[in-house]
Amino acid sequence: MAHAHKLRTLLKQNSINLVPGIYDGFTGLLVENAGFECAYVSGASISYSQLGRSDIGLTTLTEVANTIARIRERIQIPLVVDADTGFGNALNVQRSVKLLENAGASGIQIEDQTIPKRCGHLDGKDIISQNQMVGKIKAAKDTIKDESTIIVARTDAIAVEGFEAALSRAEAYLEAGADMLFIEAPTSIQQMEDIGQKFRKRTSLLANMVEGGKTPRLSLQQLEKLGFNFIIFPGSMIRTFAFAGEAYLKSLKQFGSTDKVRDRMLDFSQLNDLLGTKELLDEIKKYDE
């Protein structure tokens, strides 16, 4: 579980952490190879990529845990995992934490939405009581087997009960033992400034940058000044791939070949270099002799 300790170290040492979203071993490899020190496993992106469906609570604990295990088998950097609502009540949270930690999660995020949940930047959300969420956080903290594993508490209360209620909930979640606060979908820089002023000196703060979402998209320097130190771009990878994929398919259908988009793709050799195919084949030779 050295990766969980590494995450704790990053949060202590770095004034700000830039964290791309991933959803499988391939995207994890890209992020690690690019030199990022941590990745965020996006529940939305798992739903988009594996189910071809929107982020409306359709994925299961088993699907998420299996995804984490495959990613962890390929890369070593810390993984903060989106566990949605914990997939049920406090007892479900305990099971979720066990499975996700065993699969390789360094941090586990739990939110206070009702089941089924939906993307934090969609309308029509609802939330459980503050006491129920406090119970979930305590259950998660009681369950972790590595004391370095962090629990991220997310509240979606801004859209449901208002900004002041969200601050109040975040305070309660911090008192319950959360290691990082994620107040989802603030709608103005002033709200983000207020969040930072209230919590920045006491805990790590997560900011969620969603292209086309409800939260102002700010630079790292602006976010750091406001007090946020863990900046995630959870869906940017799959949005980039979707854009490139549509362009490729449009060109292929129109011209009947990939000639028009060859400058925007890796060739066979380049892809194998990225994947480490030569190293795998060399490893096989040791056992074939």
Reported as a single tens digit per residue, the pLDDT across 170-190 is 999 999 999 999 999 999 999
C-alpha 275/C-alpha 74 separation (Å) is: 10
Q: What pTM value is reported for the model?
A: 0.96
pLDDT of the residue at 11: 96
C-alpha 142/C-alpha 217 separation (Å) is: 35
Verify cis geometry, omega within 30 degrees of 0, for the bond prior to 78: no
Give the CA distances from residue 188 to residues 163, 220, 253, in Å, rounded to whole numbers and listed in that order. Answer: 11, 16, 43
Task: Please say whether the beta carbons of 81 and 64 come within 8 A.
Answer: yes
Question: Mean pLDDT over residues 145-169, rounded?
Answer: 97
Average pLDDT of every residue of the chain: 96
Question: Mean pLDDT over residues 148-166, rounded?
Answer: 97
What are the backbone dihedrals phi and psi of residue 84, each rounded to the nearest 5 degrees, phi first? 50, -125
Confidence of residue 122 (pLDDT cuts 50, 70, 90): confident
Domains and CATH numbers, the chain: 2-241 (3.20.20.60), 257-289 (no CATH)
* Number of CB atoms found within 10 A of residue 186's CB: 20
* Gyration radius (Cα) of the chain, Å: 20
C-alpha 106/C-alpha 39 separation (Å) is: 10
Tens digits of per-residue pLDDT, 86-116? 999 999 999 999 999 999 999 999 999 999 9
Query: What percentage of the chain reaches a pLDDT higher than 90?
Result: 98
CA atoms within 13 A on the CB side of 33: 11
Q: Quick check: 198 pLDDT over 70?
A: yes
Confidence of residue 288 (pLDDT cuts 50, 70, 90): confident
- Tokens (6 digits) for 168: 């109040």
Q: Quick check: 1 pLDDT over 70?
A: no
Give the CA distances from residue 174 to residues 101, 153, 204, in Å, rounded to whole numbers and listed in that order. Answer: 21, 8, 10
Which positions ≥6 away from 127 have C-beta within 8 Å? Answer: 112, 113, 114, 133, 155, 156, 157, 160, 161
Single-letter code of the amino acid located at 31: V
Strands 17-22 and 107-111: unpaired
C-alpha 158/C-alpha 165 separation (Å) is: 7
- Tokens (6 digits) for 35: 């030199």
Q: Which residues of 255-283 are buried (b: 16+ CB within 10 A; e: fewer)?
A: eeeeeebeeeeeeeeeeeeeeeeeeeeee
